[in-house]
Structure 1
Amino acid sequence: MAGAKAHSTPRSPGCSAAGSTTTGRRLTGPAGLWFMPMTATASDDEAVTALALSAAKGNGRALEAFIKATQQDVWRFVAYLSDVGSADDLTQETFLRAIGAIPRFSARSSARTWLLAIARHVVADHIRHVRSRPRTTRGARPEHLIDGDRHARGFEDLVEVTTMIADLTTDQREALLLTQLLGLSYADAAAVCGCPVGTIRSRVARARDALLADAEPDDLTG
């Protein structure tokens, strides 16, 4: 596994995904607010898990392929859950931890679920670390997007989404991101968050209600 390098993770892949040809799930709101799930299929998850199991046995090429297959999911998750300015570093840290832990991966859950759980812990550690310092933002606020991303297809929708979800609670935001943005099942999202499936359903419902409530004033005023 020495051949796989976490620093090979591309920088800021998340914004380009806004223009991907996936099936969007629309929430009523200004400028047409869309969540673009990654529409991973069961066969995709099985293939990624197979790569992780092979990497666990020391296959360096499998590890590199595993990182390539999952890096976009990780970047998008940490960017929306924390902030875009920290997303590259948090993605890097997630894969460093995953590389250290992958020899113990035994597929009790899918590799994607396992990796996103690591990413969630990385974000939690990051938030605890910076909480004592003055902060001017919550979540992935648009002003933290790098200049190159401002020209990406779908930037306006990205700004819309990041602004609105930043005002959700952390629990609501991560449940919504896992199920609506990354396309995880409620069961897999519950495994990532370490809570019952019913709790995830409740958090997603409350997040949707909050987003719709935020959108209504703009719809009424035009």
Structure 2
Amino acid sequence: MTIPALPTSRHEGDKAGALDESITAWALAARGGDTDAVERFVRALHRDVQRYVAHLCADPQAVDDLAQDTFLRALGSLHRFEGRSSARAWLLSIARRAVIDSYRYAAGRPRLSDVPDWQLAVELAQPQNLPGFDDGIALVDLLASLPDERRDAFVLTQLVGLPYAEAAEVSKCPVGTIRSRVARARATLMALLDDAGTSHALEAVGEDEPAVVAA
């Protein structure tokens, strides 16, 4: 059975880079009070933020609130954004902080359930046409088998689409570490897909970045 691979062509990479430049330009214009730029900035990154917080969050019902919190924080901090990194990486760093803060807040409150359901949130947030999605092999189930740090690196680079350097900035680790984590995550996913007879699904993933498998 055929499973569509994630797009990794040079043309797709160029389009993604151009979009990131536009989004960063909108963020800088929004900082100057351009309301149209604010709307474009939010609209362009809303789905990425939802997908990322769904991946990090244990409560699928909190995803929309966390995404809203992320944008409120970002819009309140735009005056400090100078465009030294892409607006996407900057915003996802804020999203990570919003999720961490929500965990800290929840830690001091009674919990009604200890069953994490981030898997459902990711499945609801992920786009169509990802490996396995259309053929009954849920990507979220495969991702759940990965260690947290490798899953995070894979989601940032292969699903959200951040360059490795910007994923390293979001994760606050060296870029070589991100490459290593993605390579190891990809190897694990390939093995799982191979067991299902569909290992070709991830063959193109990550080809634009060298795989550095370090200890």
Match of 1:24 in 2: none
d(CA) in 2 for partners of 1:65, 1:143: 24
Match of 1:112 in 2: 88
d(CA) in 2 for partners of 1:34, 1:130: 38
* Greater mean deviation of Cα atoms: 152-161 or 130-139: 152-161
Match of 1:97 in 2: 73
Match of 2:42 in 1: 67
Closer/same/farther in 2, CA of residues 196 and 125 from structure 1, 3 Å limit:
same
Match of 1:13 in 2: none
Q: What residue identity is the alignment partner of 1:118?
A: I
d(CA) in 2 for partners of 1:108, 1:153: 32
d(CA) in 2 for partners of 1:53, 1:143: 30
Match of 1:19 in 2: none
Match of 2:119 in 1: 140
Q: Does 1:210 align with 2:188?
A: yes
Q: CA deviation at 1:42?
A: 2.4
Unaligned runs of 5+ residues in structure 1 are: 1-29
Tell me if the contact between 1:55 and 1:103 (Cα under 8 Å) persists in the aligned partners. Answer: no
* Greater mean deviation of Cα atoms: 48-57 or 205-214: 205-214
Match of 2:3 in 1: 32
d(CA) in 2 for partners of 1:89, 1:123: 10
SS of 2:146's equivalent?
coil
Alignment of 1:1-222 (within 5 A): 32=3, 34-35=5-6, 41-82=16-57, 84-130=60-106, 133=111, 134-141=113-120, 145=124, 157=133, 160-219=138-197
d(CA) in 2 for partners of 1:153, 1:81: 20
* Greater mean deviation of Cα atoms: 136-145 or 40-49: 136-145
Q: CA deviation at 1:142?
A: 7.0
SS of 1:219's equivalent?
coil
* Greater mean deviation of Cα atoms: 194-203 or 42-51: 42-51
TM-score normalised by length of structure 2: 0.72
Q: CA deviation at 1:143?
A: 10
Q: CA deviation at 1:101?
A: 0.7
SS of 1:192's equivalent?
helix
SS of 2:68's equivalent?
helix
Closer/same/farther in 2, CA of residues 130 and 206 from structure 1, 3 Å limit:
farther
d(CA) in 2 for partners of 1:114, 1:143: 21
Q: What residue identity is the alignment partner of 2:165?
A: A
Closer/same/farther in 2, CA of residues 67 and 125 from structure 1, 3 Å limit:
same
d(CA) in 1 for partners of 2:161, 2:123: 25
d(CA) in 2 for partners of 1:111, 1:169: 27
d(CA) in 2 for partners of 1:95, 1:207: 30
d(CA) in 1 for partners of 2:159, 2:56: 12
d(CA) in 2 for partners of 1:218, 1:41: 31
d(CA) in 2 for partners of 1:189, 1:145: 23
CA RMSD after TM alignment: 3.2
d(CA) in 1 for partners of 2:124, 2:4: 18
